[in-house]
Structure 1
Amino acid sequence: MWGAKVKTPVDMPDDMLKDAVKTTIEKLGECENFDKDGNEVVASLKKYMDSRWTPNWHVCIGKNFGSFVTHETRCFLYFYYEINQDNKAVMMYKAG
């Protein structure tokens, strides 16, 4: 979807899903060195999701990871995106 490998089941409405994936791709594309500037990308995505879809969003980006989180219904997303031949795992969820 939109260049990302979204893992199922997706617990997010389609409009929110599209916005989250496209915004993540945009912000990762602007980042030249993720190892150096990755925290800024994550903070920027969290701030965007909080302002666009109401607080309290949590954003994790890394190589590959597992998780067990409690989240609000219809507010969870996990996907992979390849940028510059480097796969990034992205997890976003709303809790709080």
Structure 2
Amino acid sequence: MTETGEAEQEAVVKKLAYSFPIVRHTDMPDEMKEEAIALCVSAFEKFDNNNENAAKLVKDSMDKRFGTAWHVVIGEGFGFGVTHEAKHLLYMFYGGSLAVCIWKCC
């Protein structure tokens, strides 16, 4: 009985340890960056296991707030090389290995 309690406690600790965003690269202004990060976190909480819907929510919100032509990729184990408008790129991790790339195309 103590083994299952320890396993549950360990799972909770791991979940808490990775429940914050880690920004790897960005050239966005601070206000835009903070809003994009907040949008990503709320999308992950709303669509826990559906990256497609989370990406759509972030893209639609960024389009409404900062103009059209935003692109969002959410997933694990991907690389990217994109041409983007200056000061409109964010690459971050959330929940451990879940990566997010947001950029506005020229």
| TM-score in same-fold range (> 0.5) | yes
> What interval of TM-score do these two structures reach, taking the shorter chain for normalisation?
0.7 to 0.9
User: What corresponds to 2:103 in structure 1?
Assistant: 93
TM-score normalised per structure 1 = 0.84
Q: Indicate if the aligned counterparts of 2:47 and 2:53 stay in contact, CA closer than 8 A.
A: no
31, 38, 47: which one pairs with 1:22? 38
Counterparts of 1:64 and 1:23, CA distance in 2: 22
Q: Post-superposition shift, 1:87?
A: 2.6
User: What corresponds to 2:71 in structure 1?
Assistant: 58
TM-score normalised per structure 2 = 0.77
* Structure 1 ranges of 4+ moved more than 4 A: none
Higher-Rg member (1/2) = 2
Alpha-carbon RMSD: 1.6
How many residues in Structure 1 have an aligned counterpart in Structure 2?
A: 88
1:6 maps to a residue whose letter is V
User: What corresponds to 2:13 in structure 1?
Assistant: none
Identity across the alignment (%): 33
Which ranges in structure 1 are unaligned for 5 or more consecutive residues?
Answer: none
Q: Indicate if the aligned counterparts of 2:76 and 2:99 stay in contact, CA closer than 8 A.
A: yes
Counterparts of 1:78 and 1:32, CA distance in 2: 19
User: What corresponds to 2:21 in structure 1?
Assistant: 4
Q: Post-superposition shift, 1:40?
A: 1.5
Please state whether the residue corresponding to 1:7 is helix, strand or coil. Answer: strand
Q: Post-superposition shift, 1:3?
A: 2.2
22, 33, 42: which one pairs with 2:49? 33
Counterparts of 1:18 and 1:78, CA distance in 2: 13
